[in-house]
Amino acid sequence: MGSRDADIDFTFTAPITVRAALDALARVGWSMDVSLGGLSYMIDDADGMCEWYRSSPAEAGEVLARLDAPGNLPYSVAIDVYHPEAGTGGMLLFVPGRTEVSFVPTIDRRRIPAASEFTDLAWYLNALVPAFVGTGLEGYEAKEIKY
């Protein structure tokens, strides 16, 4: 059967910080994922080695400051987000330059009921795009591929 990957790539008119993106998402019901008892985030480095970290929810401010630190702007960073009411979430990946952000539904992915092998990208678009409209969202591309 093979595996499937889905993601939504957002493009912004100006760089967006992790904090600004999470603040916008919080207004529509999203939060940093704490389902396993802590925050999960990633920072790339000059060697291209992505390292994932876990922190307590009490350290959210420090995590956001670290992700948005000027020294990390040339590198990709990511943080897991979750929509508690919908019971789903995923990874927000911020690429260098911070005008492009990808969302990958990795946490209890929502599927299309009549075609369960496919991700319900329409649900994710409806849950994410309105949050980003006021933050300089220029456009998006949603895709699902089989490999």
pLDDT confidence of residue 139:
97
Chain segment 85-96, per-residue pLDDT in tens: 999 999 999 999
Q: Rounded to whole angstroms, what are the CA distances from 64 to 35, 82, 136, 145? A: 18, 16, 20, 31
Across 13-17, 43-47, 74-78, 82-86, least confident range: 43-47
**pLDDT tens digits, 51-105:** 888 998 889 999 999 999 999 999 999 999 999 999 999 999 999 999 999 999 9
Q: How confident is the model at residue 1 (pLDDT cuts 50, 70, 90)?
A: very low
Over residues 104-110, mean pLDDT? 92
What is d(CA 23, CA 10) in angstroms, rounded to the nearest whole number? 16
